[in-house]
Structure 1
Amino acid sequence: MKREGLSPKQQSILSFIDNFLAEKGYPPSVREIVRGCHISSTSVVEYHLNILQKEGHIRRDAEVARGIELRRRSRALVQVPIIGYIAAGEPVPTPTADTWNSVPIETLELPQELTRGKEKVYALRVKGTSMIDALINEGDLVLMQQVSTADDGDTVAVWLKAERESTLKRLYREKGHLRLQPANPQMQPIYTSPDNVDIQGKVICIIRQLD
């Protein structure tokens, strides 16, 4: 993202906000901008954010901790199907593995940057609280890229074959088994064999459910 009339530091802040939104699905805090752009203090960030707002590049809500919104002259939209629910807690039964290819419950129309240019993107609504420390709460929507493999530490939707259940967890490969790790200290990981797991997709964006 490059905008005319902005200083290099303002360009850097604007690009950081844009990339952060694309990766996380929510805007950065001022302190995250300080760290991400290697700026000396929050007051310097506030100064540049005020200029960006005055010039019409962002909107800010002073009453909200992450109240930064990018203003775009035009935004490409993509359609993303919501195909069901996923458990962020104890696994829940799902009728069949074909659930992942079912007719969507509804379809979202979203800015293209939220899908990060990925293909085969779908959405699931979250049930449970096992991923709250990863900022995934009950009722949120997670955008998933349909994949069959993932890296250690990725947050994935998996199908447990023997249990005929699905769950949303972080994936780790350990000697002789897989660890499906919740992001909630009150919940225990699931240990299972690699042969028992089908990876159905990995999280690329979170859409927050606001009260």
Structure 2
Amino acid sequence: MPARRQQILEFIQEFMIENGIPPTVRDVQKACEISSTSVVDYNLRILERDGYLNRRPDVARGIELLDNSGQPVSNAPRVHIVGPIAAGRPIPAFSTEDSASSAEFDTIEVSPDLPRRHGQLYGLTVNGSSMIDALIDDGDVVIIKPTNDATDGEMVVAWLKVEEEVTLKKFYLEGDQVRLQPANSSMSPIYCDAR
């Protein structure tokens, strides 16, 4: 492959990793110091013909990289789905360390800015419908940021110490107790000691 096309392809890959979206033709022109957008277009057509990418001419950022089998390449970050979370009756607690020891994880793509803004994340598969009014239903995956702090009204994965169970609820500190409020009017809150 000629150096110019290799440069364009590498720029597109790097741009997509850094930004989570493809570059425009003008982005390619500027970054690769190409004289005109028509020269960029010419090289993109050849890269498309040779099976390195697909283009959607009706979309400004319509470049899609392809792998060796001709399938679209995704540069979106992926988060491991490490286990279930109850949205209903609490379920026995699990350890992310225990889950991490297993060889295989299901994963889910997330927006590129999520890991940058929030750091370490993991996914949990929801069991139950206690959070249905928050648009979280049975079988959905919630993305979790591990933390020991919560403010009133935040949705949390709560560990119920005495029961050694976990549940997904909204958190409210009320004096010396915590109210774990479902987002489903047909279900009752869970109260536990704040200590």
AA paired with 2:120?
A: K
Map 1:43-192 onto structure 2 (within 5 A). 56=59, 76-94=75-93, 96=94, 99-101=95-97, 102-103=99-100, 105-115=105-115, 117-192=117-192
| Aligned residue pair count | 126
User: Displaced runs of 4+ in structure 1, greater than 3 A?
Assistant: 71-76, 113-116
Structure 1 residues 116 and 132: CA distance shift in structure 2, 3 A: farther
5+ residue gaps, structure 2, are: 1-57, 65-73
Structure 1 residues 72 and 91: CA distance shift in structure 2, 3 A: farther
5+ residue gaps, structure 1, are: 1-54, 58-70, 196-211
CA distance in 1, matches of 2:118, 2:63: 22
Tell me the secondary structure at the aligned position of residue 183 of structure 1.
coil
Tell me the secondary structure at the aligned position of residue 117 of structure 1.
helix
AA paired with 1:56?
A: V
CA deviations on 1:87-144 (whole Å, 9 max, x unpaired) are 00011123x5xx2232263233433135562111100000000000000000000011
- 1:56 CA displacement: 3.4
Q: Identify which of structures 1 and 2 has the higher relative contact order when contacts are C-alpha pairs closer than 8 Å and 6+ apart.
A: 1
TM-score, normalised with respect to structure 2: 0.58
CA distance in 1, matches of 2:119, 2:175: 32
Tell me the secondary structure at the aligned position of residue 133 of structure 2.
helix
User: What is the aligned-residue identity percentage?
Assistant: 42
TM-score, normalised with respect to structure 1: 0.54
CA deviations on 1:162-203 (whole Å, 9 max, x unpaired) are 1011100000000110000000000000000112xxxxxxxx
CA distance in 1, matches of 2:62, 2:177: 46
Bigger-Rg structure (1/2): 2
